[in-house]
A = this chain, B = another copy of it.
């Protein structure tokens, strides 16, 4: 019998050494074989894999992180989970990262630069293998933290031409301009833009709308309705009533997000205001329920699941030290015309 003192903290775990012993090689060879490092004899690789499978070996992530100074988790920073948009992105990210052996650690910034910095600080101390952040804009501090960490980072939702910046998204301004053009094409002339939250992407949408109305000679600052409060169905209803009370000649309202537009459609029903007869209503993102509204909502379908998948794939390449074909992937969008415009 082995005296307890000779194995004081036996954890019962199958270790690299056990696999090495079983396969008749050294631990480091097991390590290399299992990580798929080249420069290992294929025959050995197979022997090692068989032994590992037989013993049910699973690498210890903590030991690996300590030795390599790099953990196996990826941090994803999103602004808010109450916006279904980011839930879809997150799910797609997880679905791509998990099979590759990475854990997803989610942080919610609440659209707040300081919270983002704080999260970044905390997370980077854990030495994540990769980083996924929402949008291109952030504080100088946040930007510096990311750069100094040396952790590979991909930006979600927007596209950036800046050198050294990896991004997967689409042009928020172009999408918004396209929707505005659709409304103009329907003969609308007094097209209001209504937005909440006022984060960077919301303002890019406003810019797209401005650009199109300006080009048509129809821009008017009083058509711009910006509210910094969080986006919600209830807020959309309030904004809609407010806009049409203040400016009865408005013949279309373009909301920066579908929840607002859904609230507007409900308010219109309540007020007995015909949509699109009296006023057209358009949204953005094609959230769940928009196709069920009365009338069904015209909106912009955005490729959030695809963004999550593509960004995860790009990050995997970067984490593997591979070259990335294009650092800036534009996944586009689609104006979905329904009965509300």
Contacts and interface: CB of A to CB of B under 8 A. Distances in A.
Contacts of A65: 62, 65
Contacts of A90: 81
A320 interface: no
Contacts of A291: 234
B91 A108 contact: yes
A331 interface: no
Interface string A240-278: 000000000000000000010011001001100000000
A91 B11 CA distance: 34
A194 to B, nearest CB: 16
- SS class, residues of chain A in contact with chain B: helix
A126 B106 CA distance: 17
A129 to B, nearest CB: 12
A165 B90 CA distance: 31
A104 B126 CA distance: 13
A-side interface size class:
35 or more
Interface string A280-313: 0000000011011110000000000000000000
A58 interface: yes
A48 interface: no
B294 A266 contact: yes
Nearest to A69: B11
Contacts of A229: none
A215 interface: no
Contact of A126 (B61, B126, B127): B61
Given A11-B69, A65-B62, A103-B126, A266 B292 contact: yes
B87 A233 contact: no
Interface in A25-79: 58, 60-63, 65-66, 69, 71
A125 interface: yes
Interface in A85-125: 87, 90-91, 94, 98, 103-106, 108, 122, 125
A232 interface: yes
B232 A288 contact: yes
A196 interface: no
Interface of A: 9, 11, 58, 60-63, 65-66, 69, 71, 81-82, 84, 87, 90-91, 94, 98, 103-106, 108, 122, 125-127, 232-234, 237, 259, 262-263, 266, 269-270, 288-289, 291-294
24 contacts: A9-B69, A11-B69, A58-B125, A60-B66, A61-B125, A61-B126, A62-B65, A62-B127, A66-B66, A87-B87, A91-B108, A103-B126, A104-B105, A105-B105, A106-B106, A232-B288, A233-B288, A234-B291, A259-B289, A263-B289, A266-B294, A269-B294, A270-B294, A289-B289
Given A66-B66, A266-B292, 16 more contacts: A61-B125, A62-B63, A62-B127, A63-B66, A104-B105, A104-B106, A106-B106, A232-B288, A233-B289, A234-B292, A259-B288, A259-B289, A263-B292, A266-B293, A269-B294, A270-B294
